[in-house]
Structure 1
């Protein structure tokens, strides 16, 4: 069995002549948590969108284990929601597309910590933390093999961040694959098995041990900033 669930091969993406991602290559190992780490504007979200097929690479390609895309649940840009109807209606719509029963909707709603009263509101009335829980819930509805989360800790309080770490760790420990993006080094080192450090292109890809997470905090930060310091990104 291929140990890598996703293989990004020399991917470049340009928007109107501005390079957002340049010749990026890395793998996402199966059954672990991989963090795409870099400063704001480093091309993380663009990379995730190419992996999801929401943006076409200018060059390069994305390959999946087995040759076809696995079941993927994703939450980008703070989660999906129409904003025109209740969050419950949004979930029912997605559940209908996926063929998911109402019992699964209720199970996931409780799991991500959204109350029944919350679900009667449109997502536009949610706090940032509630939007994150909403997006995560929709991503989990279809029982995916791969979970892709864009800046998932944004807006969560410390208790929520700790809970989210547990969700990601549990998902990976059951054989799932997690790929998340973050600009927060301190968050990533608590949950990730593998790191991909980016700033327009890939600066490092490997295990957390290879980057030196076992080293002192100051040394780890120094290694990270030395990797991303060269070449500020434009997208």
Structure 2
């Protein structure tokens, strides 16, 4: 059975975040996720999950100062103390809401630095996050986000994520594989899963092009789900797409994949 997670940053976005939990349960979901749920107190998120019979799949560590365009700070030299503080805050919040994973965002490359220059900082920071998460009995995710979606994001390629996971070598570090980002970068999501499924602990889907529901673009989701099933994938599949109309109107595609 495929287990879907409602990404509450994208689905049911026509209503306040606090109301999306009930909407997700009403639509048949038993898992939810959100990259930055910090606008709600952790105890409120935990209460909403308990009230509606939901579990929380994954969330990101605090991503830095949005007003400065920060999308994570793990790769930024000189921000190590800020990163340590974000790990403490994020893990505390994640433990309170029962999140299965925390996602470490790499951040955007500084204007005057290239990937090779920030790579050691990134590895050290992710490794320290893994150690802190291990003490909290939690797992860590790396999600590659392609340049077409987020310009100059340091962790922009699934193969780069594989390299980081290999170099860090932490037992609780895996990839959040996004089929849309992969296809947007010219990578076949099915082939990638077939070859590297052992490194994947969470999956995001949206069709390409358009980033709408499966069936609106060209990705072979039948093949993708078959590849995950053949690999005995035990994680969930997060629906991180922009509904073409309302969320509810676009959920019928799930009936094609059970």
Q: Same fold (TM over 0.5)?
A: no
Q: TM-score range by the shorter chain?
A: 0.3 to 0.5
TM norm structure 2? 0.39
TM norm structure 1? 0.41
The structure carrying a bigger helix percent of its residues is 2
Q: Which has the higher contact order (CA 8 A, sep 6+)?
A: 1
